[in-house]
Structure 1
Amino acid sequence: MRGRRAAWSIAAVLSTMASVAVAADDPLKICLDEDRPPFSMHHRGKPDAGFDVLLAQAMAERLGRKLTIQWFESKLDEDSSPQLEANALLSDRRCSLVGGYALTQDSLVAPGMKTARLPDFAGATRDDRRRRVALGVLAPSQPYVYSPMTVVLGPKASGRKIGDIGDLAGLRLVIESGSLGDAILMTFDKGRLIDNITHLVPGRDDLLGALQRGDHDATLIDLGRFDAHRAAHPDTAITASGYYYPIGANRGYVGLASDGVLIDAVNKALTGLAAEGKIAEFGRQAGLTYLPPREPAILGDVWMKIIQR
């Protein structure tokens, strides 16, 4: 009997060791948007770059696994959304994690649709572009960066002190229709700023270019978007006001709820990297104005928060 127990014990140990070895050999697959500077960039003839690329490399090293980045292209249409795209990529096992995911309650709820199309991704076939994927349930990691909205000033308003949205009164404002910034500016103080707002069509009009030319005085955009513009145009005449709208979202990784062991390992790695100051350093290297995560970790109903302000 004792010999049999010893045999079973040795077998269990060998099985565990084999599982660990397999996990170590299995690459850590992370999906990243190929064109979202300064977070992630993947362009032909240029090295991969961005904050999320540096973090993914450090994450894989911390977990003792090789890194494979699955690049995808986010194109919104009536049948898609960032939530559905991420879910489809994860559910199709194109990756185990999606990086740079905005952690909001509505982006983490169980999808109302049972299936969704995959976004275009590196290596996709014609069949991949046609088929639909059965969706799973998403689970977030702890956040690793805070992504707020910020007021950006045109050359004629440079130096204007902005401590609140109300300080934009009297300025010529420009915003993209249907954006979060649009909702904030249009509803502020019962519409006090409406008469000074010009709307542009996203994807067609050049918002920051119009601001650069001096056609307008100020806008409200995601901080990362301004960082990307400043990196691409180091001589730009538009400037950061230093004001951050008080309602912002953290970003982190998202995976499937069924991969809870991986999410736990990722959280431990993120805690260690943050404590060592490495995540903030990745932000500086990528040209990102890095802000550490803030409470609440997962943002609630942002639209109600804006309307109630």
Structure 2
Amino acid sequence: MTPRTRLCGTLLALLTHGQPAGSAPPPAEPGGGPLTVCLAEATPPFSASSLPDGGIDAELARAVAGQLGREVRLTWVSIPNRGGLGKALAQNLAGGACALFAGIPESGGPNEDLAEKRLAASTPYLETGYVLVGARTPVRSLDDARRLGRIGVVTATPADLYLFQQNLHRLPYGDNGALLAALADGSVDAAALWQPALAEARRRGQAQAVDGLALPEAGRTRFVFALRRGDPALLADVNAAVDSLRSDGRLAAILRAHGLAP
């Protein structure tokens, strides 16, 4: 089970509602028209219509459109309980509701489901993972963690497996909400948290701003834009825009503003 499932509830499920066989793909967007971008309705800090700026993906969509000299049109998508993000992807991209769908996770390599359904992925614009945070003092090494003793972790996650391999004393929790509460009330000395969940908790004032130890060995997840494979010109434009935003520091500024400094 990926971190996105545990903490944001939007794991990229199997794309079971693809385009009917023999049907023509939606026409590519005109180069000078509005850039239409779909965003998941409630997956902060990535995207949420309740956030003043819409979240990381909304800010990035605006920046990409600006880089391309185009207006942006955002479409908020409620992720269905059945079919999840995969169904939302197929319905909105294949159906032509949007040209891009932001916030698509890739763990351990390219997303095979996108390839199977003739969807392409942009260059990654964000890579994140787990961080080990102390309840009262910073954790700067695994030796610090061993001295603390009680380390909370969401069970059956890559972080849980990593802590087990390091012979650290783990206390299992069912989700991030429970783990953050345990960190706040001192039930655990430290917690291995999915970094976006920690960033969102800090924004809400539900977590202390204590530095943490990144755990890259526990696994990293990249996030990309998904789009129809039959639109290579748009893919090239989006990749060039993301590269430009990265090189001039604007991408880093967006991530930093949401607590996810590169």
**Which aligned pairs between 1:247-262 and structure 2 lie closer than 5 A?**
247-262=219-234
**Which aligned pairs between 1:99-248 and structure 2 lie closer than 5 A?**
99-104=102-107, 108-110=111-113, 136-155=117-136, 158-162=137-141, 164=142, 167-169=144-146, 171-186=149-164, 188-189=165-166, 192-193=167-168, 196-202=169-175, 206-233=178-205, 236-237=207-208, 239-246=210-217, 247-248=219-220
For residues 248 and 227 of structure 1, the distance between their equivalents in structure 2, rounded to whole angstroms, comes to 16
Instruction: Tell me the amino acid that sits aligned with residue 201 of structure 1.
Output: G
For residues 101 and 290 of structure 1, the distance between their equivalents in structure 2, rounded to whole angstroms, comes to 19
**Which aligned pairs between 1:71-90 and structure 2 lie closer than 5 A?**
71-74=76-79, 79-90=82-93
CA RMSD for the aligned pairs? 3.0
Aligned to 1:94: 97
For residues 106 and 279 of structure 1, the distance between their equivalents in structure 2, rounded to whole angstroms, comes to 22
Output the TM-score relative to the length of structure 2: 0.76
TM-superposed deviation, 1:197: 2.1
82 and 173 in structure 1: CA distance in 2 versus 1, 3 angstrom threshold: farther
Stretches of structure 1 lacking an aligned partner (at least 5 in a row): 1-18, 113-134, 292-309
Deviations 1:222-275 (A, max 9, x none): 2121111111117x4462323332331222212122222211110111122222
Whether the 8 Å contact between 1:148 and 1:249 is mirrored in structure 2 is yes
For residues 90 and 161 of structure 2, the distance between their equivalents in structure 1, rounded to whole angstroms, comes to 27
Whether the 8 Å contact between 1:84 and 1:111 is mirrored in structure 2 is no
What SS does the aligned partner of 1:183 have?
Answer: helix
What SS does the aligned partner of 1:29 have?
Answer: strand
TM-superposed deviation, 1:167: 4.9
Q: Is 2:68 aligned against 1:68? A: no
User: How many equivalent residue pairs?
Assistant: 234
Aligned to 2:44: 37
**Which structure would you say has the larger Rg?**
1
Of all paired residues, the percent bearing the same amino acid is 23
TM-superposed deviation, 1:41: 2.2
For residues 170 and 228 of structure 2, the distance between their equivalents in structure 1, rounded to whole angstroms, comes to 41
Whether the 8 Å contact between 2:130 and 2:215 is mirrored in structure 1 is yes
For residues 29 and 178 of structure 2, the distance between their equivalents in structure 1, rounded to whole angstroms, comes to 51
What SS does the aligned partner of 2:182 have?
Answer: helix
Whether the 8 Å contact between 1:90 and 1:97 is mirrored in structure 2 is yes
Stretches of structure 2 lacking an aligned partner (at least 5 in a row): 1-26
Higher helix share: 1
Instruction: Tell me the amino acid that sits aligned with residue 168 of structure 1.
Output: A
169 and 20 in structure 1: CA distance in 2 versus 1, 3 angstrom threshold: closer
